[in-house]
């Protein structure tokens, strides 16, 4: 695997991990309808922003893979 491939895969994996953690552990609790507004709020107030940052990191990984030059010259 080339260095740009490893970088792209690494960034994509980090982005997916950030999405997974923010969705399952930082978002609003799952379950029955909330009994009060406090139960429908996320654990962290900016948890959706963390999820969006993970999505952006996955897209950036694809962009970096295309933008960075490869070591082999393609003729």
Coil/strand/helix, residue 32: coil
Domain assignment present for 16: yes
- Give me the number of domains the chain comprises: 1
* CA separation for the pair 48, 54 (Å, rounded): 10
- Output the tens digit of pLDDT for each of the chain's 75 residues: 778 899 999 999 999 999 999 988 888 777 667 677 767 777 788 889 999 999 999 999 999 999 988 776 554
Domain region containing 10: 3-28+40-67
Residue-level pLDDT at 59: 96
Domain assignment present for 10: yes
Whole-model pTM? 0.78
Exposed, middle or buried by CB within 10 Å (0-12, 13-18, 19+), for 53?
A: middle
């Amino acid at each position: 695997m080339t260095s740009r491939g490893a970088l792209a895969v690494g960034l994509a994996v980090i982005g997916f991990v950030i999405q997974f953690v923010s969705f399952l552990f930082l978002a609003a609790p799952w379950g029955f309808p909330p009994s009060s507004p406090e139960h429908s709020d996320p654990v962290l107030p900016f948890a959706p922003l963390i999820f969006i940052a993970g999505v952006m990191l996955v897209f950036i990984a694809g962009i970096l893979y295309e933008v960075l030059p490869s070591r082999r010259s393609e003729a």
